[in-house]
Structure 1
Amino acid sequence: MKPDELIEEIETIYEDEDFIVLNKPAGVLTIPDRFARGIPNLYDILKEKYGEIFVVHRLDKETSGVICFAKNEEAHSDLSEKFEEHEVKKIYLALITGHLRNKQGRIDIPLSENPKLPGTMKVDYENGKRSITEYRVLEEFENFSLLEVRPLTGRMHQIRVHFKAIGHPLAIDPVYGGRQEIFLSEIKKKYKPKEDEPEKPLMSRLTLHALRLGFFHFRKKEYVEFEARLPKDFESLLKQLRKYSVKEDNF
């Protein structure tokens, strides 16, 4: 898909003279790839459309959801400072493996880059930066739990590494969890895929979605908050879990 066609496919949640807020699809880069500069990414696409665009924050390639870009230096400086001072509200939906003993809590585990696996993070109690993630369990299924997650700090892969660290990685996370996809046959016990063709996965990317983003708009002088609806693959997976895999003693 060409860049101009890609931007037409991406939902614009909000736009004014200072910001553009998008619902990023999974599989699309936020910024250019260091080693493959030609891969389509939101920054290049928006820069081509607006002439000038500023990156404020990022989402992993396989994470969907709300993302904001600044359209001028003043907006960029103000919102970047708010991110640095942890004044931006970020809410994610995450499907993790298993069930948490505490249905609401905080993970406070320091993280640092992993030199053995470039581009990844690790738990590091000696030299890591303080990293805090709050969560609340929304629903429990037979083998998974749906959480509302709020990262209070902004470390790379923070949510993914934190839940891995407490023994409950994302339901799908090839890097920190191992699993690459979820099939209906795993959820619907009597379901049998067709013998003559391979079963297609319900979902085959990170079970992580940036749901809401909120901050004080420096020009409007008011708090603004934006929400990105769940993509079809995540909605479909949750629909099947609710239908066939509800935890019997769900709270």
Structure 2
Amino acid sequence: MKLEIIFENDNFIAVNKPSGLLSVPDRMQSEVSLKDILLDKYGGIFTVHRLDKDTSGVIVFAKNEQTHKHLSQQFEQRETEKFYVGLVLGRLSVPSGLIDMPIIEHPVKKGVMTTNRKGKASQTAYQVLEEFNNYSWMQFQIFTGRTHQIRVHMKHLGHAIVCDEVYGDGHPVLLSAIKKKFKLGKDVLEEKPLLNRLALHAQKLIIKDEEGNPHVLEAAVPKDMRATLNQLEKWN
């Protein structure tokens, strides 16, 4: 797999992770992860943070133990700045705000998180960037790094991330649902979705190196999400 490297020096590497690729190996070693690919290329690679398998965007790995410790501390002490963009279901009544709702592992469903006052403190700032008939294009900044945080918080607001099979309806975005008088092309038996994966993208990450220099790491919105936005804007 050819990786899109955003930034690289002797101490760390930032990659634009594609949707559908694990950040690090799972317990079963069931499929190749981004870390496996980097280990094969560089030898020594250390996990600093993670993105969900179906979330695309900026992710950083350290190349040595010293940098790993330095960057890991930044994430633990919430000194990094993390920004995401995503498409959600529906239109929000309040276009911007802060979701301050603790998150805990679901008591029954394994690997699923939920909001609960007994959970760990979790904060997500959100802002609607653009509204459509049935969707909203949003920016998020997370101040904590809980598992599935944005996905859980948006479910809590009643506006799940598009194509989220765990916290939403999992339905793809279809042009037939957006464009009036939609017709399939000649000899086309089934409509191909505009978007059929989790509509969440880690767009920007700001970290500091060991000398205190800030690094603004940005990943462009992927083609499939851009194409979906173009169609929503066209037929809104």
TM-score range, shorter chain: over 0.9
Runs of 4+ in 1 over 4 A off after TM superposition: none
Structure 2 match to 1:189:
180
In structure 2, what residue type is equivalent to 1:229?
Answer: A
Q: How does 1:1-251 map to 2 (within 5 A)?
A: 6=1, 9-35=2-28, 37-125=29-117, 127-194=118-185, 196-219=188-211, 221-245=212-236
Structure 1 residue 196, shift from structure 2 partner: 4.6
Q: Which whole-Å CA distance do the structure 1 matches of 2:83 and 2:184 have between them?
A: 36
Q: Sequence identity of aligned pairs in percent?
A: 47
Query: Structure 2 length normalisation: TM-score?
Result: 0.96
**Structure 1 stretches of 5 or more lacking a match?**
1-5, 246-251
SS at structure 1 position matched to 2:150: helix
- CA displacement, residues 110-129 of structure 1 (integer Å, 9 cap, x when unaligned): 1111131111101111x201
Aligned Cα RMSD in Å?
1.1
Query: Structure 1 length normalisation: TM-score?
Result: 0.91
Checking the alignment, whether the CA contact within 8 Å between 1:180 and 1:205 is kept in structure 2 is no
In structure 2, what residue type is equivalent to 1:23?
Answer: N
Structure 1 residue 89, shift from structure 2 partner: 0.6
In structure 2, what residue type is equivalent to 1:137?
Answer: V
Checking the alignment, whether the CA contact within 8 Å between 1:91 and 1:148 is kept in structure 2 is yes
- CA displacement, residues 25-44 of structure 1 (integer Å, 9 cap, x when unaligned): 00111011222x15111111
Structure 1 residue 226, shift from structure 2 partner: 0.8
Number of residue-to-residue matches in the alignment: 235
